[in-house]
Amino acid sequence: MPGIFGLIRKAGDSREANEALIGRMAARLSHNDLYVSRTHAEDWFALGNIGLPVTGEERFAVDSGRRTACAFSGYIYGWRGVESDLDRPTPDKASRIMNIYEKHGGALPEKIDGSFNIALFDLRSREAFICNEKLGHRHLYYFEDDQVFLFSSEIKALMAYERFSRELDWDAVADYFNYGYMLGDKTLFRKVRVLKGGHIISIKGGKIHFTRYWDYRYGELSRQSLPELIEEADAIYRDDIRRKTAGAKNVIIPLSGGLDSRFITGHAVAAGIEPHSFTHGRKGCSDHWIASQVAGTLGIANYHFVEIDPQWLIDYSERFVYLAEGMTESSPAILIGISGRYGLPPLDTVFLNGIFGGPTNFGAAYYNARDAVAGLPMEEKVRRIINYIGSVPSDNYYKIFAPEIMNRFKGRFETSIAEELQDLSAVSELFCNQMDVFIIKNRLVRYIDHVDCNRFLWHDHFALASDRLNDFYVRLPHELKPSRLFLKEYLKAKFPALAHIPYQVTGVDLYSTPSKFKSDWKKRIKRLKYLAERVSRGRLRFYDRDAYIHYDQWYRAHREIRDFYEGILLDDRTLRRGYFNRPYLELLLKRERTGGDSYYAVCHMATFELFNRIFIDSK
């Protein structure tokens, strides 16, 4: 994503070298014609900022009087816990950051209400201070060797350094193929890490220090009644949406058949905003049927349906891999095609993104009531995490890889999860809270954040994630979290008309009890359709009305899509790497052609090969 970038030279002074390197870093991040970039170099550091400009807002500043340089990326909505002279609104936000740092030092990130990365350089003491927001949604990567420390919002900028190491991190590769994303702070490059949320990097005299200034801590739960909790959450969110849309000429809100999007849209309309709402999918899908009812109930004039073109998988896959830097498979490339149909000016438009729901917006928990226990052994914790994220891949899946790689991947499946859980014991003694934080830090921050390619195209605000919403969720009683109970009661209390519209997951409104018979029947029908596709060797294709994506069916219906993926995977260039076992790979591709459900495995492998071509092979 666009953001801040820079370097610290550990030894030796070379302003010319730093200017050249920061220029190359900026060039690698200039992949959108609308981006504006600023850089500054001294003999021991260089700093840059790039992204869509925010009209009238200072996001980069060099104060010659104080001999201080500052840049930030993301969005700052206000200040907290500071003196009255520092609390007033201002467009000169980079200068305000300098003022707060001058008075409060390392407490700076806790004085800011927003989603951000910040870098400050003191030119007199030759010290640097880099920090991110608590939740870590604005990614910041770093690389270090004996000569420099580099940081950037995108890894591709780090690769501008002539001594950058392209060595793969095979533990990260194992995560990618085991779960679909990396856990912890790993990236596909062994010497590149992502800064975890709530951290500070302090640099002085060439020495790098990492400090965690915040982490999840579950303490005493709220004793308020349900109506009181609803009122508190409502006040928080009304203020949140006002801050995140301030000054926007246009507001985009994707609208689906789920609860999160109607929650956001309902609040936007209540705040006097006239949003542009878009539903995407296949004609006749339930998302469109339900979302159109929401739009009609709210009186939204600018409501549109974007039909997904399967061709977008071919058109935008390489672009998506370039933007996401191989952190997840490339099927979300269709989102680039969808965004291209919105037809609004990016510089004047706020995109309210609702994909960061769940615990970060008090809407759901990633656990069941039985998980609210203490003292579980590590093996049981790992087992329960696996039950949530999916079963251990089959031996047939692992056989697709060369034997030594297969054994490494299998050996890392449980180990990587256990390593992450070790760091969460201080969060809470209850496993339910540890599990929630595990999913937030990994599935949301490491996976969903990379699915969200909209942040490269729009002023992308996380509509369901903020410090205050997160603090509210931490205090919310356990029994109100599973099955989206609190959010359902909230909608019934504050948006009863929206609560009367069916929820796609259950097929009924929030005042009705889903039929177990209908639910079981739908599962049986889905299974029968799959078997029919298998028996017909892919000649029959059934499109699930409750889904907006149909990758397996698209793969079989469009020869050009098959040729795209198989052309990548069976190419000599791919096979010479020695990663894949060709006979089993060919069996997988045959299975997918003849009615299988292996698209995601195919896509993971093709994405990894594209990553190698874009980031490993090219210099």
Closest by CA to 98, choosing from 74, 129, 77, 124, is: 129
Q: What is the pLDDT of residues 379-411, one digit of tens each?
A: 999 999 999 888 788 899 999 999 999 999 999
Closest by CA to 137, choosing from 187, 74, 70, is: 74
Q: Is the pLDDT of residue 517 over 90?
A: no
- Beta-bridge partners for 7: 46, 150
Cβ within 8 Å of residue 587, ≥6 positions away: none
Angle at 329 between CA 164 and CA 336, to 5 degrees: 95
Q: What is the dihedral of CA 259, 262, 267, 268, to 10 degrees?
A: 140
Closest by CA to 402, choosing from 167, 137, 583, 140, is: 583
Q: Is the pLDDT of residue 243 over 60?
A: yes
**Angle subtended by helix axes 403-422 and 431-439, to nearest 10:** 130
Dihedral sign from CA coordinates of 585, 590, 591, 593:
positive
Class of domain 242-363+444-505: alpha beta
Q: What is the mean pLDDT of residues 456-470?
A: 91
Q: What is the mean pLDDT of residues 505-511?
A: 94
> How confident is the prediction for the chain on average, in pLDDT?
94
What is the pLDDT at residue 612? 98
What is the pLDDT at residue 619? 64
Q: Is the pLDDT of residue 179 over 80?
A: yes
**Pair 101, 120: CB distance under 8 Å:** yes
Residue 149 pLDDT grade (very low, low, confident, very high; cuts 50, 70, 90): very high
One DSSP character per residue, 472-530 reads HHHHS-GGGSGGGHHHHHHHHHH-HHHHTSPPTTTSS-TTSPPPHHHHHHHHHHHHHHH
**Pair 257, 280: CB distance under 8 Å:** no
Distance CA 611, CA 591 (A): 25
Long-range contacts of the stretch 566-571 (C-beta < 8 A, 24+): 568/606, 568/609, 568/610, 569/602, 569/605, 569/606, 569/609, 571/609
512-541 burial: b if 16+ Cβ within 10 Å, else e:
eeeeeeeeeeeeeeeeeeeeebeeeebeeb
Domain range summary for the chain, segments of one domain joined by +:
4-165+180-212, 242-363+444-505, 374-429, 518-617
Residue 250 pLDDT grade (very low, low, confident, very high; cuts 50, 70, 90): very high
Q: What is the mean pLDDT of residues 52-62?
A: 95
Q: What is the pLDDT of residues 296-354, one digit of tens each?
A: 999 999 999 999 999 999 999 999 999 999 999 999 999 999 999 999 999 999 999 88
Q: What is the dihedral of CA 91, 95, 101, 102, to 10 degrees?
A: -130
What's 7's DSSP letter?
Answer: E
Q: Is the pLDDT of residue 417 over 80?
A: yes
- Beta-bridge partners for 462: 353
Q: What is the mean pLDDT of residues 610-617?
A: 97
Question: Distance of alpha carbon 237 from its chain centroid, rounded?
Answer: 21
What is the pLDDT at residue 206? 82
CATH of domain 4-165+180-212: 3.60.20.10
Rg (CA), the chain: 24
3-state class (DSSP) for residue 14:
coil
Residue 226 pLDDT grade (very low, low, confident, very high; cuts 50, 70, 90): very high
Q: Is the pLDDT of residue 362 over 70?
A: no
One DSSP character per residue, 36-47 reads EEEEEE-SSEEE
Distance CA 70, CA 440 (A): 30
